[in-house]
Each structure stands twice: as C-alpha cells, then as structure tokens.
Amino acid sequence: MLSVPRADVPGFTHARPTDLSTIAILPGGEAIWADSLDDGALLEQLLETAAGADLLKVLGGRIAGRHRSVEKAASSRANGKNGGRPPLTMTAFVAELDRALHEITPAAPVADTTHNSNPQLPASAYWTIGSRRLLYVKLHGTREIQVRAKWPRRRSIERRIRATAVHLARELAEHLVG
C-alpha cells in the first residue's frame, strides 16, 4: 500500500476533506477523479510521487529485464561468443561520472588521476574542492569499483557503469550545491 500526501497531488493541494469524498477511480483504473474539484491525477503521477522517479526506473528495468524472447536469447548467445560482458573499466567509469557531473554542474571540479602511475588507465580518481576530498573512486578487482565519500557512504558498484555514474554525479552535484 502506498500513500500520497494530499499536498503532493497538484489538483488536490487546497482541497478540503469534503471535496475529496467524491473521488472515484476512472474506468480502466488509470486515474482518480474528484467531481467536486473537477480535477484528478493519473496513477503514474501518484506512484512517482509516492515511490520516487529513480525507484520506478529501477523497477521498470527489472521488470523489462525479466521478459524472455527468442531475440533476447539469440542476442545473449551472440554476446557470449564474443567474450560476454566487457569488464568494468575504471577509465570508462571515471569518464562517464565526470561527464555526467559537468552536465549537471558545469563549474564542478575535474577528476584528478594525476597520482596514478598511468593516467591513461587510472586505478583511482578523486574530486576535490580546495583541500577537501568530496569523492574518491578506486578499482577493486576486475568487475567492481569502490566509492568513498561522506555523503553517499561506502559502497561497491558492479557493472552498471552509466546508470551508477549518472546517479553518483547527481548526488555529488547536490552535495556541491547544498
């Protein structure tokens, strides 16, 4: 069961409890409607408000990923013949995180990989402002990257380079602004 505060539903923000007594689910079950307010809300809007857009994206991806088809099986077999999923590369992760961060906050600091012996293949990278290290990422094995920062806590990231980098960039941008 999900609950959505009335103040978070655009059409019902200033509604009185008596106005909400006429709420009905529209045919098809895709929306609710209050005749006394002459307004309503789509189910997807209510779900997004209650659960959050990021969670809905994750759940949608999981549900879509469960579907099996002949095409998906053939693609998986072909990918396996080519060596399977490529290993998580630190270079790709740092580049994607830096790109996403600067897309959100252009004035953000640039990733520092100068402390590595080979900057072309970084083993670690960090983002700092002044002497304060905001985010530190390092390669941890061949398929995992470890992230250290006070704000997202310690965590390991496996495989999902693009989605994770964009999510981290959003968190770092919020930390920079706030």
List the chain domain ranges.
6-51, 90-177
Mean pLDDT of 155-177: 66
Contacts of 110 (CB under 8 A, 6+ apart): 98, 127
Report DSSP state, residue 3.
Answer: -
Separation in Å, CA 127 to CA 109, 149, 155, 159, 177: 6, 10, 17, 21, 15
143, pLDDT greater than 70: no
Report DSSP state, residue 28.
Answer: T
Mean pLDDT of 54-65: 82
pLDDT of residue 125: 82
> What is the C-alpha to C-alpha distance for residues 33 and 3, in angstroms, rounded to an integer?
16
Name which residue leads in pLDDT, 24 or 90.
Answer: 24
Q: What is the Cα Rg of the chain in Å?
A: 23
Mean pLDDT of 80-92: 73
152, pLDDT greater than 60: no
> What is the C-alpha to C-alpha distance for residues 6 and 21, in angstroms, rounded to an integer?
13
What is the chain's mean pLDDT, rounded?
Answer: 77
For residues 33 and 43, is the Cβ–Cβ distance under 8 A?
no
In this prediction, residue 122 has a pLDDT band, given cuts at 50, 70 and 90, of: low
pLDDT of residue 91: 77
In this prediction, residue 160 has a pLDDT band, given cuts at 50, 70 and 90, of: low
Angle at 148 between CA 146 and CA 149, to 5 degrees: 150
177, pLDDT greater than 80: no
166 CB-side CA count, 13 A: 5
Report DSSP state, residue 112.
Answer: B
Separation in Å, CA 30 to CA 19, 21, 52: 21, 19, 18
